[in-house]
Amino acid sequence: MSISDIHNFHIPVLGTGFSLDTPVKVSKYGISSVMSLADDMLMEKLRKHYNEKNNLPYIPIEDNEKDSRAKRITAYLNLMNVLAKEQFQILKHSLFEHGSEITKYFEMLPDLSNLKIKYKEMLGTKDIGMMAVLQLWLRENIKPGPIDVNIMTKLDKINYDEKGNQLPAEYNDAHAALRGFANSDLESSVVFSAGINTRLYSYLEAFKDFFPEQDGSFRKKIIIKVSDFRSALIQGKFLANKGLWVSEYRVESGLNCGGHAFATNGFLLGPILEEFNKKKNELLESLRELLKKSLLKKKITFDDSKLEINVTVQGGVGKSTEQDFLIRKYGVKSVGWGSPFLLVSEVMNVDDETLQRLCEAGEDDIYLSDVSPLGVPFNNLRTSSKEVEKAKRIEDGKLGAPCIKKYLASNIEYSRKPACTASISYVNKKADDLRTKTNNLYEYNREINKAAEKVCLCVGLAASALMVNNIDTPKISKAVSVCPGPNLAYFSKPASLQEMVDHIYGRINLVTHNRRPNMFIKELSLYINYFVKKLDENLNPLSTQAQEFLRTFHSNMVDGINYYKKLLPEILEETGKSRRKMKADLIELEIKLNEYSHQLFYEEIKATA
């Protein structure tokens, strides 16, 4: 039985803290979720919290302990695994009665799943003996949801010992996180996001659990989050040549997502999924041969007939009809629902104030910002308490923030050791540097304002988890950063887990704004806005490099629009009225793109004249 036989959606990673303990809240119901492995300090605090809550012994892993980051992650994951398994066993043996845990398990299942059909059969039988047989079968055929983890490959900061000596690469942040997962008891998947990190990927070879068992199964699987087919092929080949198999390619919209946004060169989600659907078998066979050759050299034998590749998708999905279409049309195994779950405080660490601000947020309140110290666009909530705190600090002339955790320290502009561009020390050095380099007040203010825009995401993305779990941190800011995708603007009410799952399967409707566009249309509008911004930034004059980038970006969007025009009649899950609205929205966006295209090509002609 695969996970889609239970649920055909998953909960992606949400920040560093919002979904950090989600598995102990949803795994027992067969729901798959993902935790970030970025913040081992927060994991240690939550481990202490959950041990005390469950009357379990707690032995702290101190900062100065050797390999403390990896050990903390292993200890936390093992605890999550133990608690989730215990809860599942309690659920499994609860009574089939109204409101019980096992009843909740089956009530949340998709209506057409085999388990749900069998459950309905059990409810409908009058024969007590048959009911007992069916209940026994149901108990034996349920299973918990996977507890998966996420490692952002770019967060691989170099670390140093107490004397300031650089530690070996395996003590880098992402390497230590991988080791923490590899040494844990979990039998689940690691999701790599933010692009390829060849040194980190090579480190996978150090752990036997990532290699296949003789029967072709894996104790630990590899999932790669990708933006297009080419990226999947490159990363899949790199790993297959090392005897490592990518079990799943998780396609995410470049811009219609939460958190850090990695825009493609104008490639849209529909055409990307079309290519995956057409070339999936080709990808499977080519990577299978590479894997077999590599494992033969390593003298590892296994049943390669069991190898499979799953394609999943996430980013901007907000209606059951969209999920149903993605599964039917492109054959995806599962669909990710991220941002809407921020309104489900039953399973997410969202404090009351942030929940209220998320409910009130409109389209203009969720924006693609420059607040991330990584220099990567970040979908941000304009009204979050962290943004309010930042504005107050700027007003008081206090630029930057204390750098406590240093997870995003990556800039070596002013020192050998990487610094965080949101830190007080970096901003002060930046200001001093600008004063010596420019007498232009406008240029100085512009650059200082850019520096002041950054916020401390390490603390901000963890703050809500600390508040929700009543963990006191007196010296650390309680201002919350939150990273919803644009899709959240169309939801405005808190929901229970049951309600959100019912919405996902079309049993109820939680979308509160009738103007919500189809996910494909929304993504296209975001890409056009991104294109316009890049066009404005590169004008006067338009360099040859910018011309090439913008022309490619424009061409890919035009191809995407033409693809959607042909696709519209195939979206049978939507009503005729919805498809007509999609067509009208598509034409409107095409006209908008054409208007700016004239500007692009005029600038090109002028630049080459």
Residue-wise pLDDT for 216-271, tens only, equals 999 999 999 999 999 999 999 999 999 999 999 999 999 999 999 999 999 999 99
Query: What is the C-alpha separation between 252 and 234, in angstroms, rounded?
Result: 17
Query: What is the C-alpha separation between 483 and 494, in angstroms, rounded?
Result: 17
- In the chain, % of residues over pLDDT 90: 92
Query: What is the C-alpha separation between 224 and 210, in angstroms, rounded?
Result: 14
- Using DSSP's 3-state secondary structure scheme, residue 358 falls into helix
Residue with tokens 């006067």: 540
Q: Is the pLDDT of residue 332 over 80?
A: yes
pLDDT category, 604, cuts 50, 70, 90?
low
Give the pLDDT confidence score for residue 542 in this predicted structure: 82
Token pair for 149: 């983890």
pLDDT category, 601, cuts 50, 70, 90?
confident
Q: Which of 178, 287, 193 is nearest to 243 (CA)?
A: 287
Per-residue pLDDT, averaged over 278-305, amounts to: 97
Give the pLDDT confidence score for residue 93 in this predicted structure: 97
Q: What pairing do the DSSP bridges indicate for beta strands 366-369 and 378-381? A: antiparallel
- Give the ranges where 268-307 is alpha helix by DSSP (H): 269-297
Mean residue pLDDT of the chain comes to 95
Q: Which of 603, 480, 441 is nearest to 537 (CA)?
A: 603
Per-residue pLDDT, averaged over 89-95, amounts to: 98
Residue with tokens 């002339």: 397
Give the pLDDT confidence score for residue 606 in this predicted structure: 62
Token pair for 384: 């979050």
pLDDT tens digit sequence for 479-499 = 999 999 999 999 999 999 999
Per-residue pLDDT, averaged over 263-292, amounts to: 97
3-state secondary structure 55-117: CCCCCCCCCCCCCHHHHHHHHHHHHHHHHHHHHHHHHHCCCCCCCCHHHHHHHHCCCCCHHHH
Residue 546 phi, psi (nearest 5): -65, -40
pLDDT tens digit sequence for 427-477 = 999 999 999 998 899 999 999 999 999 999 999 999 999 999 999 988 899
Query: What is the C-alpha separation between 351 and 462, in angstroms, rounded?
Result: 11
- Give the ranges where 377-511 is alpha helix by DSSP (H): 385-395, 424-437, 441-453, 457-468, 497-504
- Using DSSP's 3-state secondary structure scheme, residue 189 falls into strand
My answer on whether omega of the bond before 110 falls inside 30° of 0, hence cis, is: no
Give the pLDDT confidence score for residue 553 in this predicted structure: 97
Sequence-distant (6+) residues with CB within 8 A of 26 are 11, 33, 145, 347, 497
Q: What pairing do the DSSP bridges indicate for beta strands 221-226 and 310-314? A: unpaired
Half-sphere exposure of residue 252: CA atoms within 13 angstroms, side-chain side: 29
- Using DSSP's 3-state secondary structure scheme, residue 118 falls into helix
Query: What is the C-alpha separation between 579 and 521, in angstroms, rounded?
Result: 11
Q: Is the pLDDT of residue 21 over 80?
A: yes
Token pair for 360: 């009130």
Query: What is the C-alpha separation between 237 and 283, in angstroms, rounded?
Result: 9
Give the pLDDT confidence score for residue 417 in this predicted structure: 87
Sequence-distant (6+) residues with CB within 8 A of 531 are 266, 550, 553, 554, 557, 593, 596
Query: What is the C-alpha separation between 13 and 532, in angstroms, rounded?
Result: 30
Distances in Å between the Cα of 95 and the Cα atoms of 90, 120, 320, 498 are 10, 16, 30, 19
Token pair for 519: 């996910």
- Residue 444 CB neighbour total at 10 angstroms: 15
Residue 260 phi, psi (nearest 5): -65, 135
Q: Is the pLDDT of residue 134 over 90?
A: yes
Token pair for 198: 């060849």
Give the pLDDT confidence score for residue 1 in this predicted structure: 35
Give the pLDDT confidence score for residue 605 in this predicted structure: 62
Give the pLDDT confidence score for residue 539 in this predicted structure: 79
Per-residue pLDDT, averaged over 374-392, amounts to: 97
Q: Is the pLDDT of residue 607 over 90?
A: no
pLDDT tens digit sequence for 404-438 = 999 999 999 998 889 999 999 999 999 999 999 98
Q: Which of 600, 606, 5 is nearest to 266 (CA)?
A: 600
For the entire predicted model, the pTM comes to 0.96
Query: What is the C-alpha separation between 306 and 2, in angstroms, rounded?
Result: 13
Integer-rounded Cα Rg, in Å, for the chain is: 25
Q: Is the pLDDT of residue 105 over 80?
A: yes
Query: Residues 177, 179, 182, 185: what is their CA dihedral angle, to the nearest 10 degrees?
Result: -80
Give exposure, 199-235, as e/b (b: 16+ Cβ within 10 Å): ebbebbeeeebbbbeeeeebbbbbbbbbbbbebbbeb
